[in-house]
Structure 1
Amino acid sequence: MKNQNIKVRKHYLLKMAFLALPFTFAACDTEDMLNPVPETSISDKNAFDTPERIIGQVNGLYDAMKDGQYYGGRIVVYNEIRGEEWINRLTNGVTGLQTWQQNVQSGTNEVQNLWGAAYAAINRINVFLQGLEDNKAKIDPTLYTQYQAEAKFLRAVAYHSLVTLYAKPYNADNGASPGLPLRLQAETTTANNDLARSTVAKVYEQILKDLNDAEAGLPLTYGSAVLNTTRAHKNTAIAMKTRVYLHMGNYAKVVSEAQKIVSGTTSFTAPTGVAHALQADVALPFTNYTTTESVFSMPMSDLDAPGTQNQLGYYFNAAPVGNGEYYLNAAGIVNDAQWPATDARKVNFIVTASGNKYLKKFSKPSPFTDYVPVIRYSEVLLNYAEAAARTNDMPKAIALVSAVRKRSDAAYVFPATSFATQQALVDAILKERRIELLGEGFRAMDITRTLQTFPEKTGSGLNAPAVAPSSTDYVWPMPNSELATNKAL
């Protein structure tokens, strides 16, 4: 067992360090290759030599985030299938069966692979920030500030995605529970591998620090629809803060952040920076990936696809376009009476095949190059709506949730009971999130942040039990790869 642990430790650390290396490898010469640096360190003497190489490093940070095991697809899938909206069709352990069944363990592939991909991205960010600081004289000061801000934004996204999956919700005890090893330094050797978990509150504190720094340093706009969607700008950081504060239950801060990028009374737009707004056609952001509704997305192309069995279309779309790994649960939101057949989201995004309903929101065929949405403006409006309802601004909450609904179904009238009380309005907004954000990776996060029980699921001869907040299965365990290599845990 000891030898096996040593082997695991060596393999894991080598993998993590390799993935965190600067992505400009052309600078390596024959001498470097024949005389490699010991342990897991690598010379970065060329990585920050020129402004061109530095922007290459920035692009590499985004590339690390969209690893197929991470924001290239898998984290979205796992946060979907943990909830009640999906039925597993193919009982394939490689494509999340244990996650759907709510019985992942420390050694489960998805638990280990996602953690490894996310921390590899974090360390790559940390290595970049150190290299940028060491070479700041080689770049224009404005770009230095911007690149630093982009890196911090990505680090905040990474830590938030991890803390919402591998730690108890902030709202369970105001963040007092154990959170994550909070790695903020560039690591190229094993010297500092042993690091205890910070509390959930400390992790959130760092997330918000990074996001505030990012907002201060990011540009208002890049002047290009593609870059405004695929690189962080000021509104991107603000939008992310509305999500983070919502998870903390700090609804007043959700409102104050949202007000920076949401103006209007019945239709809403961002008053500064990128002019974010809902598109009139709800399907458009999923075919034209760079509209102003898409605040931040992971771009894909035929030459840069998520990789086999990572893609959203592969999981959720019916054959022959997708693989139909998961179909929509007849007992879930798809058949809810408050989601009528006239709603454009049902018309455009739901397809029936072999008697089951599938989601075709991600409709590109193999190699499944749909952009992966990370933040859409509709989420921001619903974050704001929920926070407004919870702070007793009922008219604003109703206007915001109505804007999202009526974009897809102009004739729809919410039942009077939906707005009768503050709790009824909150419930209506939470239901609207299930409809609007279906397939985009929010369901499990919404369940845990509101301390609900994961409902039981039954279909295709399979069953997944209900999971209460008190259960050890409510959040994912630390992976064996971390437990074996971090003696401070």
Structure 2
Amino acid sequence: MKIQYNHTFIRRFVVLAGLGFALLTTACDEKELLNPASQTSITGANAFDTPDRILGLVNGIYKSVKSGNFYGGNYLIYSEARGDEFINRTSNTFTAYEAWNQTLNSGSNFVAGFWTAAYTAINNANIVIHGLEEHPDVVSEALTKQYTAEAKFLRALSYFSLVTLYARPYNENQGSTPGLPLRLLAETTNANNDLKRSSVAEVYAQIIKDLDEAEADLPLNYSTSLLNTTRAHRNTAIALKTRVYLNIGNYEKVVEEAQKIVSASAPFTATTGVAHQLQNIVEIFTTNYTSTESILSVPMTELDNVTGQSSFPYVFNSNSEYNLNPEGIWGDTEWKSTDLRRTFSRTASGVQFLTKYNKPSPFLDYLPIIRYAEVLLNYAEAAAYTGDLEKSVSLLKAVRNRSDATYTFPESTIGSKEALIETIWKERRIELLGEGFRSNDLLRNLLPLPAKSSSSNSAPEVLPSQTNYIFPLPNIEITTNKLLLED
């Protein structure tokens, strides 16, 4: 059936509103890629009429993913606040206090804001996928496949981000509980608002399907390191699959996918596509945003205007709203002072603040979505679960010794499968601190969200059996989708 594109909808959500993570062109320098000239708005009737317009629509998906309520800020802020690595200092409801003290409700601003942002990205992807099907001859067959693959990758990323917040963990009952409305059509009106939730397992199946298809048609690499960092390529899809399979406990598939982009022995590197490998830990967060360690990052520019309460660097560093929890990983005695990752901090008022993102306003730090270090840790955990302890230890050491060449793991921490897995979980807390992983790592392993406290503030422990273990469904969806609450 031919999709009729609503003009207002197209203009509002997808058309040339600005660049995505970076424009895919060949004739401009990186400054132009990050700050393109504005283009004339077009209507839905001719949205797919020219190659430039189609590229603009693809960039619109990236743009929606980097919004302030998504990977541009709040998604990372709220994911970190729910965990146990930070202490809230301000009780500011606009900077994730309700997430930190576990009182989010269906009317909370971010509960609705992130849901809307993620589904906007999903629908933008759906529009591109269906539009390219209906306009097969405007760009080459190769570009049609690539753009479709990019859209599917970003749709998968968006659904994964949603299902890990708003649905019960897959490992609780193998994904049999209600998950999310699985919207796969290009919606240009509200006629199809009513849609039941698919099961958690069905949502994950769609995520994996999208990533498999994206892997097949994404390019091996791009012409610049900027594009290799800010646009999906084949290894990006593979890397995200290691995260997705880890989340559902399919460790054999984690190993299978990781082996595509991790060499058999150290120093570990990707042998096809972009040559990913670990880089200087300090430089990747300060001066070398487009190194081969970055598999996908969000580049922030002045045009994004994420300068206040939806900016991760502002909330966790510049405005000092969250300090590092001395009872969290920051206080762990096995994280030695010789570790370069300890340098990502500053001390004020007797407490420490994370400085991984340390640029001043307007906070133009690149925000990482996928790093090669995560892939190695995903692989290490899966290798431990599947009995390959030697490979697991080798991968774990690669991550730790990159930042602390003098450190030796005590035999008691790596000598058994159980101890090794615990040590890998600890290494994730150190390596991925401030990158949005901690609360999901607790949920995927069905562990409580720990209690947190300071002299002036506290948050209770949340058990997996409690309803606030996951985000509530937003009122905006409950009131407009009559089928949402049906089992």
Deviation of 1:136 after TM superposition, in Å, equals 1.5
Which of 418, 423, 427 is the matching residue for 1:423?
418
Aligned residue type for 1:432: E
Distance across 2 between alignment mates of 1:287 and 1:69: 26
Tell me the residue number matched to 1:344.
340
Distance across 2 between alignment mates of 1:283 and 1:361: 10
Q: Deviations over 1:381-426 (max 9, x none)?
A: 0000000001110000000000000000001011121012101000
Residue pair 2:14, 2:60 contacting (<8 A) in 1 also = no
Larger mean Cα displacement after TM superposition, 431-440 or 76-85: 76-85
Deviation of 1:264 after TM superposition, in Å, equals 3.9
Q: Deviations over 1:169-202 (max 9, x none)?
A: 1111000010000000011111111000000000
Distance across 1 between alignment mates of 2:397 and 2:448: 27
Deviation of 1:285 after TM superposition, in Å, equals 4.1
3-state SS of 2:304 partner: coil
Aligned residue type for 2:289: Y
Tell me the residue number matched to 2:13.
20
Does residue 299 (structure 1) correspond to residue 299 (structure 2)? The answer is: yes
Deviation of 1:26 after TM superposition, in Å, equals 2.8
Does residue 446 (structure 1) correspond to residue 441 (structure 2)? The answer is: yes
Would the alpha carbon gap of residues 100 and 14 (structure 1) be closer, same or farther in structure 2, given more than 3 Å must change?
A: farther
What does 1:171-190 align with in structure 2 at a 5 Å threshold? 171-190=171-190
Q: Deviations over 1:70-102 (max 9, x none)?
A: 110111111111000010011111111100001
Does residue 328 (structure 1) correspond to residue 324 (structure 2)? The answer is: yes
Tell me the residue number matched to 2:372.
377
Tell me the residue number matched to 1:36.
none
Distance across 2 between alignment mates of 1:287 and 1:249: 36
Aligned-CA RMSD value: 1.6
Q: Which runs of 5+ in 2 are unaligned?
A: 1-5, 18-38
Distance across 1 between alignment mates of 2:437 and 2:450: 15
Which of 357, 376, 379 is the matching residue for 1:362?
357
Q: Provide the TM-score with structure 1 as the length reference.
A: 0.91
Residue pair 1:246, 1:254 contacting (<8 A) in 2 also = yes
3-state SS of 1:351 partner: strand
Would the alpha carbon gap of residues 14 and 162 (structure 1) be closer, same or farther in structure 2, given more than 3 Å must change?
A: farther
Aligned residue type for 1:418: T
Q: Deviations over 1:138-189 (max 9, x none)?
A: 1111000000000000000000000000000111100001000000001111
Q: Deviations over 1:302-359 (max 9, x none)?
A: 2334342111211221xxxx11110001101001011011100002x02111111110
Deviation of 1:18 after TM superposition, in Å, equals 6.5
3-state SS of 1:295 partner: strand
Would the alpha carbon gap of residues 162 and 16 (structure 1) be closer, same or farther in structure 2, given more than 3 Å must change?
A: farther
Tell me the residue number matched to 1:3.
none
Residue pair 1:179, 1:200 contacting (<8 A) in 2 also = yes
Tell me the residue number matched to 1:400.
395
Distance across 2 between alignment mates of 1:161 and 1:104: 17
Deviation of 1:466 after TM superposition, in Å, equals 0.3
Distance across 2 between alignment mates of 1:305 and 1:278: 31
Would the alpha carbon gap of residues 246 and 15 (structure 1) be closer, same or farther in structure 2, given more than 3 Å must change?
A: farther
Distance across 2 between alignment mates of 1:252 and 1:286: 35
Tell me the residue number matched to 1:166.
166
3-state SS of 1:466 partner: coil
Distance across 2 between alignment mates of 1:358 and 1:16: 42
Tell me the residue number matched to 2:212.
212
Does residue 413 (structure 1) correspond to residue 408 (structure 2)? The answer is: yes
Percent of pairs with identical residues:
55
Distance across 2 between alignment mates of 1:104 and 1:17: 32
3-state SS of 2:44 partner: coil
Q: Deviations over 1:46-78 (max 9, x none)?
A: 211111111111111100100001110111111
Tell me the residue number matched to 1:485.
480
Residue pair 2:175, 2:200 contacting (<8 A) in 1 also = yes
Distance across 2 between alignment mates of 1:26 and 1:234: 32
3-state SS of 2:87 partner: strand
Residue pair 2:68, 2:74 contacting (<8 A) in 1 also = yes
Deviation of 1:287 after TM superposition, in Å, equals 2.7
What does 1:31-42 align with in structure 2 at a 5 Å threshold? none
Distance across 2 between alignment mates of 1:443 and 1:16: 36
- Aligned residue pairs total 458
Distance across 2 between alignment mates of 1:70 and 1:166: 14
Aligned residue type for 1:368: F
Distance across 2 between alignment mates of 1:216 and 1:139: 19
Q: Which runs of 5+ in 1 are unaligned?
A: 1-12, 29-42
3-state SS of 1:362 partner: coil
Q: Provide the TM-score with structure 2 as the length reference.
A: 0.92
Residue pair 1:19, 1:121 contacting (<8 A) in 2 also = no
Tell me the residue number matched to 1:9.
none
